[in-house]
């Protein structure tokens, strides 16, 4: 029987902010966001990306963000890495701050997709080239005591080629596990999936990958993300990626909206058999998350798009 603890990976500072148009979100604001999330009980937070600043300008300050944040023990501040260059930049930063205990980060996320067209848009290569490129990155990270998480994008539908073959999702997920990823996060990048689609896709992937090594990553474009989280939990998944205030979108998925809001998951799982939080007695505080969702959204010049955040604020 599976555990009833649901782990949240808070991706707002990365998946949320990477898509901001206009001026670059200041490092200090990113740092405040990360520190507030951790204070509210988050134990896994994506802090940024070591990607090309030409491709994703918003993530260019990630090294500064890592240095300036509070370094809380037992919190994983994962960073996305697309290639060897990204990992080498991170390792240089870590060796120049060796005195820092705990280290600035102990986790990277590598990413690819279930279609060649999306992989080309996101990484400028096809799936098999991306896997060949990522395998030595994963090995080197593991050799440096950095754990590796994998992402598969467009697990349901691709903005360029439409409906996705779940067998391909299974094959790519397996390849990421085989190169040493402790977990693979299944991304409905377009946010088009329904609960039924999610269950069917997970049933296919779990033919090759244990469900305990999978996470769900659902964008909310069609308003099905909370329902998709429930479908993923029913299928045995216990790690969910979400974004405070429902921040975000994907720069290479036109029209896609943000991730499922963390507040909305916390609310939906109240009075359920599930406890939310990665630690033994740790939980994530709903009212603090609502406040953070509004605070960061207003800093970005808009309102929170979390349904729960809006409902609570309206009372
Ligand atoms: P490329 O243009 O083929 O690479 O891009 P290149 O090797 O020719 O390099 C181009 C330039 O970038 C060079 O600089 C390199 O030095 C530099 P120039 O000589 O022109 O001045 N460069 C780098 N700079 C900093 N850090 C690096 C790096 N690598 C090269 N690591 C590349 C290939 C992989 C670099 C590019 O495609 C890239 O950065 N892609 C990242 C895209 C990205 O971050 N996407 C968003 C994250 S994924 C996502 O959101 C989905 C997810 O949420 C799940 C879901 O929802 O599905 C995870
Ligand atoms: Mg995403």
Residue nearest atom 36 in ligand 1 by C-alpha distance: 123
User: Can you tell me the ipTM of this complex?
Assistant: 0.98
Residue nearest atom 1 in ligand 1 by C-alpha distance: 124
Q: Is residue 41 reached through a cis peptide bond, with omega within 30 degrees of 0 on the bond before it? A: no
pLDDT of residue 22: 82
Question: Within the chain, where are the H helices?
Answer: 27-39, 62-68, 84-96, 116-123, 127-143, 166-178, 195-205, 225-234, 262-268, 286-299, 307-314
pLDDT of residue 282: 64
Ligand nearest to the CA of 129: 1
- Asked if 79 is an active-site residue, the reply is no
pLDDT of residue 283: 87
Ligand nearest to the CA of 154: 1
pLDDT of residue 30: 98
User: Is 123 a pocket residue for ligand 1 (Cβ < 6 Å)?
Assistant: yes
pLDDT of residue 1: 52
Kindly state the tokens that stand for 160.
Answer: 């360029």
pLDDT of residue 256: 76
Mean pLDDT by 10 residues, the chain (315 residues): 88 95 94 97 97 96 98 97 98 94 97 98 98 98 98 97 98 98 98 98 98 98 97 98 88 79 96 79 87 96 94 93
pLDDT of residue 12: 98
User: Is 19 a pocket residue for ligand 1 (Cβ < 6 Å)?
Assistant: no
pLDDT of residue 277: 79
At 86 the three-state DSSP class reads helix
From 79, 158, 181, 250, the catalytic residue: 250
pLDDT of residue 254: 72
pLDDT of residue 250: 60
Would you say 243 and 266 are in contact if contact means Cβ atoms under 8 Å apart?
A: no
């Amino acid at each position: 029987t599976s555990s009833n603890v649901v782990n949240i990976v808070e991706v707002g500072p990365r998946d949320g902010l990477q898509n901001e148009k206009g001026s670059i979100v200041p490092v200090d604001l990113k740092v405040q966001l990360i520190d507030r999330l951790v204070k509210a009980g988050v134990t896994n937070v994506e802090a940024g990306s070591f990607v090309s600043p030409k491709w994703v300008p918003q993530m260019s300050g990630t090294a500064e963000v890592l240095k300036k944040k509070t370094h809380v023990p037992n919190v994983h501040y994962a960073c996305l890495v697309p290639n060897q260059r990204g990992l080498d930049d991170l390792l240089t930063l870590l060796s120049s701050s060796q005195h820092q205990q705990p280290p600035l980060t102990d986790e990277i996320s590598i990413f690819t997709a279930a279609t060649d067209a999306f992989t080309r848009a996101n990484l400028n290569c096809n799936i098999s080239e991306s896997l060949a490129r990522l395998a030595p990155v994963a090995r080197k990270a593991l050799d440096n005591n950095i754990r590796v998480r994998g992402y598969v994008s467009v697990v349901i539908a691709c903005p360029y080629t439409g409906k996705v073959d779940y067998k391909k999702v299974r094959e790519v997920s397996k390849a990421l596990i085989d190169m040493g990823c402790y977990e693979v996060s299944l991304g409905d990048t377009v946010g088009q999936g329904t609960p039924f689609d999610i269950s069917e896709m997970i049933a296919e992937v779990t033919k090759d990958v244990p469900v305990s090594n999978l996470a769900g990553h659902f964008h909310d474009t069609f308003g099905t993300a909370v329902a998709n989280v429930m479908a993923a939990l029913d299928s045995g998944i216990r790690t969910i990626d979400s974004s405070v205030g429902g921040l975000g979108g994907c720069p290479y998925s036109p029209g896609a909206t943000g991730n499922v809001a963390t507040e909305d998951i916390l609310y939906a799982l109240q009075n359920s058999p599930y406890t939310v939080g990665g630690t033994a007695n740790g939980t994530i505080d709903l009212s603090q998350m609502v406040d953070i969702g509004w605070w960061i959204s207003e800093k970005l010049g808009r309102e929170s798009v979390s349904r729960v955040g809006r409902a609570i604020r309206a009372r």
